[in-house]
Structure formats: C-alpha cells, structure tokens
Amino acid sequence: MTIEHDLYIPSPSLSHSALKFNVGERQLTVWQPSIHDNDLPLLDFNLLDFFSRLGVEGVVDLVTCALLEHHIILKSSDYTRLMLVAECLTSLLFPFQWTLLYVSIVFTAALVCLDVPVPAIMGLCINKSNVNSDGKNVDDDDRSSDTSDELTFEVQRCVVHIDTGHIKLPNDMPRFPDRTCFINELNNILLRFNNYIHNWTHIYDENLLKESNYEPSQALARLAAIAKRAGIVINNNDDENSNSRLSCLFNESELRRISANNCLRASFINRFAQLFSQMDAFICYPPVGKYSNVDQLLAQRSTTKNFDRTMFIADQSKPHVPFLLAFMETQSFVSFVDSKIASKFNEDNHLFGLTNKHLQYFSDHIRLYRDRRDLTYQYCPSIDSIDEETRRRFTSPFPSSLIVMNAPLVRPLDNSFSTSNNSYLFENLNGS
C-alpha cells in the first residue's frame, strides 16, 4: 500500500458538512457534524467489528476493566486491530473518560512501559506465529510472561488477545451491575443488525443520484464561496457541472454500521444513566459565591470532597455495591464529578475531558430515571428512534444546514512513502 495523496478537510463549523472524494475507483465520504450539535463524540471505528472480535461478554468485561482503571494490555498481530479495540473501548466509557496512560500502539523502544505500575491501556503488536490455539502468546520475548515475577504482576492486569478473542481478567474483579441483562440487551441490538456486511469502502452507486432543487441560504452561500476558494466544489444549483444530488450520503452497509455504532453507544449510556440517575443529589457543590471561577475551586481541591460516597452507596442495590465502591475510587469518576461542579460556573471547561455540551447530553438521559425509585433493569428505550434518526440525517431530503461538497481529485504528495498491506501507517514502529 502506498500513501501518496493529500486532501483538505474543512474545519468544524456552525453547519453540517459532508465531503465526498474519489481514491481510485472508491468514493469516500467524510462527514463533519456541527460544532453545536448535541451529539456523542465522533467515533471513526466500527463497533460491530469490535464486538465480533471479542464477543458481547468479552466487551462488557473489558469495559468493566477500563471503568475500574485496571492495567490493560492489548495484543494483536495487526496494528489496525489494536487501534480498533483501543478506540472502541474508550468510546464506550462515555460520559466517563480514560484520563490515564493511553498508548494504543507501543513501539519496540518503549516496551519497558508495559511494566509501569499505573493504570494504562497499551497495544502490543506480536508475531502471528506466536499465538497458539488458546489465544496465548508463546514468544520468549513476550514481556508479560517470561518470568515468574511478571506472571505475578500479570494477575493484576487484563490481557486481551484480539486475534483469538481470548481475554484474561484480573482476579476478583467486581461484576458489572446487571451484567446478564445488559449482555442480553446488547445481543438484541446486534441481532437487529445481523445482516451487516463488512465493507469499509464507500462504493459509489450511480442509482443514488437524483435531481434536486436545493436552495442554499445566504449564510451557506458564503460558506460555499469560502470552500470553493479552498479548491472544493460544492454540489449546489450554482455549479453548472453538478446539478444532481445524492439521495443518501452512505450506502446501506455504511448506514447500518453508523446506526449500529449509535445504538450500541446509546445502550451503554442508558446503563450508566440508570446507575447514576440520583448522583446529583450526592455531589458536594460549593456554596454560591464562595468561588468566583474554577481555578479558585481547584486551588482548594485537596481540602474538600466532591461527592458523598457513603450516602450514595446506602441508596444502592446490594449487588451493585462492589462495583460502585471500586468505581468511585477511580480518577475517571472523580474527574466526571469535578466536571459537573465546574459546569456550575458557566464555563466550558476542558480540564476534565468533558464539555458542558457532553454533560448536558448525559443529563438528558439521566432525566428519564431521576423520578423513578424502582431498581429493575430498564432497556434503552430509544433504539428505534436512534436508528430512524440516523437514517433520516443521511438521507434526502437533507436538512438545510447541511453542505455537501465534492472535492477535486486528491493531489499527490511530493514525497510518497510505502507501507506493507498489514502494517498500514505503522510500518516503522517495530524499529525495522
């Protein structure tokens, strides 16, 4: 594979934008949401592939490990799979954030980092010949299993063999609340998309073209002019060479993948919303007027507590307590609560990895359970509407705020470089 092209991607704006371009016979689409959209953080990886690699039970257990901030080692013979698992894993933690060491691909010179005694997510590329049928690495150079001391340390961490789907969990790890019910819910969502056909390419379909009388607003016309000066051709009625418009930005396979991503992520968010629906009542917000800004609050952070854990636990179902006690000790939970407190200052603070927009997104989901005191498991009620909304967003007639752009031919780089078929962009990470 040769990387030899460069393409300008528009920056996020007040409106949606979709950029379509051709690479050889393939047509690719880049979709950029509005900066004001009440959407989840972007995920450019396929959760269906993630679940097919590790299985539903494996994914739930791996997410549990990440929530409890265990040391997680990912192993695969393929760099792309390492990226897939690492990125999909962290995306399913939302609204909580992985704030600790994260190295999705560890190159050879940094293998010593695998032994750091702190929570981390790290990806290690292994030789395909060094994986046996049980999913265990048999390489004598494998740093996770070559001495008895390291075997002792490995008990305290999670090791994921992506190529075989084998996961070794830490000893005595608390179970995720309502784990069996949650696994059944995820299985039902996956069954909804059981006709999914893996196809990462955006194949151009001539049958998707149709006539359109799309009239851009003045604001969009100005944006169109800027885009044209940047060398991008926009599909509108002013373009004599392009008077047709796609009826759908993505083909059926791609829409299914995007919708599956949204539905699976919504299921995890719904689970967190039910678990923490009453948490606002236990957050220790500072008295009004005590601090003028977030910086003053943080200066006193070491002498104040941000959450009443004792009262919160007393209000929880007993089977959930072991997990919740462990989770409330993590940096992820502390940072989330700090984000909630910082939002009271009406500042879009990024210190804790969350914006006010993301906090509001989660609060909207919590509101479904805030007035309910029953402890029965509740399936995500919005899967059907999420699927419909996803398809409507990318299907004609498009909203007036959407700009669809056809890029010119991608221009070759002055100095192209080659990679192997399996290594992609990461050919030199192993020191070769």
Q: Please calculate the CA angle 124-130-132 and round it to the nearest 5 degrees.
A: 115
Asked if residue 202 lies in contact with residue 27, where contact means CB atoms within 8 angstroms, the answer is yes
pLDDT on residue 57: 94
Helix ranges, 68-130 (H) = 79-91
Res 69: pLDDT: 93
Tokens of 64: 């549990």
Strand segments, DSSP code E, in 291-388 are: none
Q: Which of 89, 86, 81, 85 lies closest to 60, judged by CA?
A: 89
Strand partners, 205: none
Q: In this predicted structure, what is the pLDDT of residue 29?
A: 74
Cα 386 from Cα 231, distance rounded (Å)? 35
CB atoms within 10 A of CB 24: 8
Give residue for tokens 């992820």. Answer: 332
Which pLDDT tens digit goes with each residue over 178-196? 999 999 999 999 998 875 4
Q: Are 35 and 12 in contact (CB under 8 A)?
A: yes
State the pLDDT at residue 246.
Answer: 53
Whole-number Å distance between alpha carbons of 86 and 81: 8
pLDDT in the model for residue 171:
86
Sheet holding 233-234, edge to edge: 26-32, 16-23, 402-406, 233-234
Q: Quick check: bond before 381 cis, omega within 30?
A: no
What pLDDT, on a 0 to 100 scale, did the predictor assign at position 150? 44
pLDDT at position 93: 95
Give pTM, 2 decimals. 0.75
Whether the CB-CB separation of 231 and 8 falls below 8 Å is answered with: yes
In 230-292, the DSSP E strands lie at: 233-234, 244-246
What tokens does 30 get? 């880049």
Expressed in percent and rounded to 5, the helix, strand and coil fractions of the chain are: 40, 15, 45
302, burial (CB in 10 Å: exposed 0-12, middle 13-18, buried 19+) = exposed
Rounded to an integer, what distance in angstroms lies between the CA atom of residue 305 and that of residue 227?
50
pLDDT at 234: 46
- Tell me the average confidence (pLDDT) per consecutive run of 10 residues in the chain, 432 residues long: 58 64 70 69 89 94 94 91 94 92 78 74 79 49 39 64 92 92 94 59 33 42 54 43 52 85 94 90 79 70 75 90 93 88 69 73 80 76 89 73 63 52 45 47
| CA-based nearest residue to 364, from 277, 265, 284, 306 | 277
Q: What is the pLDDT of residue 80?
A: 92
**pLDDT value of residue 74:** 93
Are 85 and 65 a contacting pair, CB within 8 Å?
no
